Each structure stands twice: as structure tokens, then as C-alpha cells.
Chains A and B, each alone.
Chain A
């Protein structure tokens, strides 16, 4: 009898484990979808030397498709503020033509989905390595993305920079002035 009892107990534990796994997978499905979308965006943005203008345009369009029709994109002093998919396509396409190589790596990310599962935020730190006129540069950007679910699809509504280290006002103005008068 003890062997029958232990086998029933084993089955019960197994069933509980499967149920727990299912519940966790269900709970994290939105996080997984957002994570996959982010990874796709990263791959689309990366560029190897010798990319054709047509491919650059196709990739820019595909990237813009991950955003809402009227997104709010403010990525700091180095990029203009953007408020539509079309503006995004133009900006991404221009960046791809300007830079010879782009390699973005998402170092850290924290995805938080709202209780009603209709919106989410992602705080991420991304490292970019760029090749411009044969010279390599590297920077780390901290960004907060806000997502909304439209027709079951997660789209980015806004992208704003986060600054763990806040530069003094003078430094911020110097950066902006430098960009205005390159």
C-alpha cells in the first residue's frame, strides 16, 4: 500500500508542478512577446558594412511598424524628437545611410506589464557601437519604452531617455550647442 500512496503522491506533485509551470508561462507570455519584439528591433537596427539603400529603407519601415501610428520618441540630444512612423522611417533610414556599421546590444532590461495587460514599460540599457568614417565609437543609452496592446499586438507608444547620472545644466547645453553647430 505505501508504494501506491507514494506513486499517487508523486503524480500529485507532478500535476502541481505542471500547473505551476503553465500558470507562470501564461503570466509571462506578454513579457516574452515584448522581449522577442525588442530583440527583433535590435536585429533590424544593426547594420553590417555594404548594406544597400533599399535594404536600409525596408528595415526602417519594418522598425517603424513596431511603433504606434503617433509615437512620442525623444532619445536625447543626438536624435531629433519624432512623432510619427513616417518621421521615424526617415530618421532611421538617414542614420543607416550615415553610419557604416551599427551594432546594438541590450545589456539590461526590465519589463513591467500592467495588471490589465494592455500596457507595459521597459527600462533598458543598450550599448551601441558605431562605425562612422572608419572611426569606431561606443555609447550606452538608458531608455524607457512605453508599450500598448493594439489588436493583440504590442506596439511602442513612447521612447524617452533615462539618466541615472544627471549632467549639470551647463553640460547639457554644451551638448545641444555642439549639435546645433557641428
Chain B
């Protein structure tokens, strides 16, 4: 029953359409957080400066988010933690995206043994949770090195881009449109610019947004299980863990990092391309 007119009815609701309003709000939210991450460390006092006399000081005009159990400024620590999360996550996502996309397109374009090798490698990677790779790699460096965290997260995520890009590129490259481009002798550049890239872009936007969420959450989770970054570094997961014992006497300690974490992930989730539902 697929008369065009009836089709319109049947298709309604197969996937909620996220309004562009949501995306604009997400961009605004992320810009705000980025401002905190960029300007905060420049303008605010040293986040490691302890002042035990101001132990668990409540929020005030002078110190909007109060002070923690070492008397450190929560706002300053939060700004540093946000910057760390954003920069490290962006680096991981960029690395995984470039690696996975190039490998995926190569796999679909050339086929043959290149495809076979890349697929075998990805098959093994896909069954290993990101967290496990990160755990293993961060065991490499005691004391929670940033380098290990970056390597682990990027290594764990490239396979996702590879699989999606390979599958999608295979469809695009096998389509009549690309066959027609071949008959018209339009060349590889035309295929990449007009066929592959326009098709992959919304997918990659969505994957990268989700990748940011995954990276940020993985970092904070590792801080929580005490194998990621180590205190006294300001990191969202660590801040949540450290503040937990004080949740009833100093709730601002917990609420601030939780709110930032939640805001970061929600904004990135809303940034996904509404057409794509992975």
C-alpha cells in the first residue's frame, strides 16, 4: 500500500524528528562550556591552590561554587576539568575518525586483500569494549598518564567509524549513481566529492557526537574506578568521586561536576544529525 499519498501516512513517526531548535540549543550550550574551558583557566585562580582554612566553604558571590575538602576553588577546578574533557575527547574522536574513515573507504574502494585484512582486524577489535582497551593501556602507565588515556580511547573507537564507513561506502560505490559516473568518466575526485562525502558527512557528524559522549564518559568512569587519571588532577569523574563522601554536607561539590558532565553529554547527543539513527 505504497501510493505516495498513503506513504506519507505510513512513514510518520518512524523516528522522531529532532527539531533544529534542539540542535541550536546544543550548539549554544557547547559554546558556553567551551568558553568556561578556554577562559576559565586564564581568569580563575590556580585550581591546585589549597587553603585548608576554607574547608568546604559554601558558595558565595566571591566563590560561586564554593570550595572543596582541601579548600580548593571548585569553579577553577571545574574549568580545568572541562577543558581536559573537551580537549582529550576531541583529540580521541579526531584520531579515531580519520583513521576509521580512511580505512573504511580504502576497504570499500579497493576490496580484495586490503578489505580482508582490515576486516579481520576490526572483527577482533569490535568485540573488545572500549573501557577494556583503555584499562589495559592505562595499566601501561602508572599514575594515569594522559597519553595512555588518549591512545586507549582512540584505539577503542576507530573500529566504529571503520565499520560504518565501510558499509556505507560499499553501498554508495556500488550504486547506479557511481556506475553512471564511471560511464561518464568523471573520475575518483568526483566520486569522493559528490557521492561519498555528502553521504558520509551526516553519519560522521552523528558518530563523532556520540564519540565525544563516549570519550567524556569513559574518562570520568576511569577516574572513578581509580585506574585513569589520578588525583590531584582536576577531572570530572574524579571530582564526582571525591565529592561523594560529602554529598549531604556540601552538595555543591557533587552537583557542579555532575551538572557539567550531564550538560556536555546532552549537548553532544542533541548535536547528532536528526536524519541518522545509528
Indicate, yes or no, whether A interacts with B.
Answer: no
